[in-house]
Amino acid sequence: MKTRIGLAGVGVGVGLWGLWLLLGALEPPALVRLPIWLGGAVLADDFVLVPLTVGVGSLVARWSAGPDRHRTVGAVRTSLLYVGITSLIAVPLLLRQGKGVNPTVLPRDYLRDWLLLEATIIAGGVIGYFFTWRRSRASSGDIGGR
């Protein structure tokens, strides 16, 4: 119990320190916009990302109920997971590209690079599926005209 209280105290202390740094780093107009942005992020998550994720997951689960599709599910789910993660990371770069002066933004074509990354992930998923499919056929004796 003492460990929990100590960890809770450390957590509250670190949280207050972060709040102090936030209040010191932002100007009042930015502090007003911050809760609005956070509320928009919650709404986007609850009303866009979660239903989309549940819907795609439901479709994949329903599709995987067919015969011998259980091998495909791993490749599809993994590919969709990585496409989703990299897309969430890339969206701010894609939306804000070319707007304002930001020395940290490199002069690159982020849309092209993101599309190449997604194509690479999907190609990796397809290759992984075919390796799994080939291995399952080899272990069941279907290769070689038997």
Query: In this predicted model, which residue has the larger pLDDT, 11 or 78?
Result: 11
Query: In this predicted model, which residue has the larger pLDDT, 63 or 86?
Result: 86
Are 53 and 84 spatial neighbours (Cβ–Cβ below 8 Å)?
A: yes
Hey, is 137 helix, strand or coil? helix
- For the chain, give the mean pLDDT: 84
Place of tokens 């074509």: 109
Confidence of residue 106 (pLDDT cuts 50, 70, 90): low
143 pLDDT more than 70: no
Query: In this predicted model, which residue has the larger pLDDT, 142 or 30?
Result: 30
pTM across the whole model = 0.59
Residue 79's nearest CA partner among 133, 126, 27 is: 126
Query: Tens digits of per-residue pLDDT, 14-70?
Result: 999 999 998 899 888 888 888 898 898 889 888 988 898 889 888 877 877 777 677
